[in-house]
Structure 1
């Protein structure tokens, strides 16, 4: 129930939803003065949220900076959060990546460089599964194909959200007798925009891994005619990602998850 309430709240305050509601209400009551003002407000907000410079600058400030491979020490375990594949796509003879594949490909690179001795993948079937193959299993199969030894993979296949990723990972590490390692022996790998919440969830369980943000949305800010005056669908997408993440952090704090 908590999940569905949070998703509904996120949807209602999404920038594009707000613009549509304002514009739709304004058109419905266009013969009234305040109806025209609502249409204008919807239009102006659409211009604001589609401004690529503002959206990119905001995301650039939010995402932690990337870390160079060569600066990392060696880790016992790299912990990868899922949420990067289309688990409903068939046939199941391959892994279907969405954006966020960096979580996997960069982890494989680190493994082959000797920076990671083992890789733990955490992620189950989600809240409305259409298949019995978890995302962790699907990503594990890809990693084996890419050269990771199956004996070096640890799969957590039941988590449905970030809180459960942290809780079930801590439980699995304890069951495997791996919590004897220092937290600094673990490297948390997830998308840069999601790292703050993910890291806070792991800290709540008593794990304090080092972090390796990947899957960046922002580029180095550039102030020019295109970024200022040309509306961008990608800018609206960035706003949606950020708002959803901010709502997630707020709700997690209220619920005591972080």
Structure 2
């Protein structure tokens, strides 16, 4: 399933799909037999790219996804544990450069620090192994420990789960390590767009969590739709990638019985 998910992710990457369609259409126009169809493939592809470049469908869909779960306000008075999901660190680059390499999802990791100080008795777990089929020995949790050490945070407080390869395994392996008890309050920190699938996975293994969404991609502001029109092929194409990733993840996880519903809600 792990390798299948990686292959499916490559096959559904928007940039790859559009490039292949353009190449296919171009090759078809070289043949008299397929000339007409090739022109249609090229025309539809270019029109689709242009439409996506102007109309921010991916942004509107991501706004809706990110608004699915909100952090409680105020936060719970008592918290028994805090879970941080990996995804912010690139283990391959970190190993090659000799320093921790983080991406835009680093707020997943930094959000833990003030929460851990607010709840000094809470148990902490960072869950993140290797998401690469080519470098399975490089585990994100190992570099997460270095990251927190560099910030001066007491890593003795954190349990580092280093074997998970996807969100399902984040839930199952973290539960095995932490052994949460019924009635306990656990916070779950991950990206806002990833929160629905994450909450669904934890619920499916019998571990209810309180969502703490971070790493927002959208502003969430309610503005007239025409003010958000733009011309950016890069945003239109590449902005679809995380949305498709989460959408396919929700469908596949539900089919596998790894979430409690297709689109988890509060």
Q: Tell me the TM-score normalized by structure 1.
A: 0.86
Name the residue aligned to 2:210. 210
Structure 2: runs of 5 or more not aligned:
260-266
CA–CA distance in 2 between the matches of 1:109 and 1:67?
Answer: 18
CA deviation map 1:139-172 (0-9, x unaligned): 1232233243233211111111111110001111
Q: Is the 8 A contact 1:111 1:148 kept in 2?
A: no
**Which residue matches 2:112?**
107
- 1:48 match: 51
Q: Check the 8 A contact 2:56/2:228 in 1, yes or no.
A: yes
Alignment pair present for 1:61 and 2:64 = yes
1:252 is aligned to 253
1:82 to 79, 86, 102: 86
Deviation string, structure 1 residues 162-189 (Cα, Å, up to 9, x no partner): 1111000111112xxxx23624x10011
More off after superposition, 14-23 vs 64-73: 64-73
Q: C-alpha distance in 2, partners of 1:75/1:240? A: 35
Which range moved further: 191-200 or 19-28? 19-28
**1:96 corresponding residue in structure 2:** 101
CA distance in 2, matches of 1:194, 1:106: 16
CA distance change for structure 1 residues 235 and 215 in 2, over 3 Å: closer, same or farther? farther
Q: Distance in 2 between matches of 1:116 and 1:215?
A: 26
Gaps in structure 1 of 5+ consecutive residues: none
In the aligned structure 2, how far is the partner of 1:75 from the partner of 1:93? 35
**Contact (CA 8 Å) 2:49, 2:233: kept in 1 or not?**
no
User: Can you list the C-alpha shifts for 1:43-76, whole angstroms capped at 9, x where unaligned?
Assistant: 0111233336322111101113675686212422
- Measure the CA separation in 2 of the matches of 1:65 and 1:203: 16
Pick one of 120, 127, 140 that aligns with 2:125: 120
May I ask how many residue pairs the two structures share in their alignment?
252
From the superposition, tell whether residues 130 and 8 of structure 1 become closer, same or farther in structure 2 (CA, over 3 Å): closer
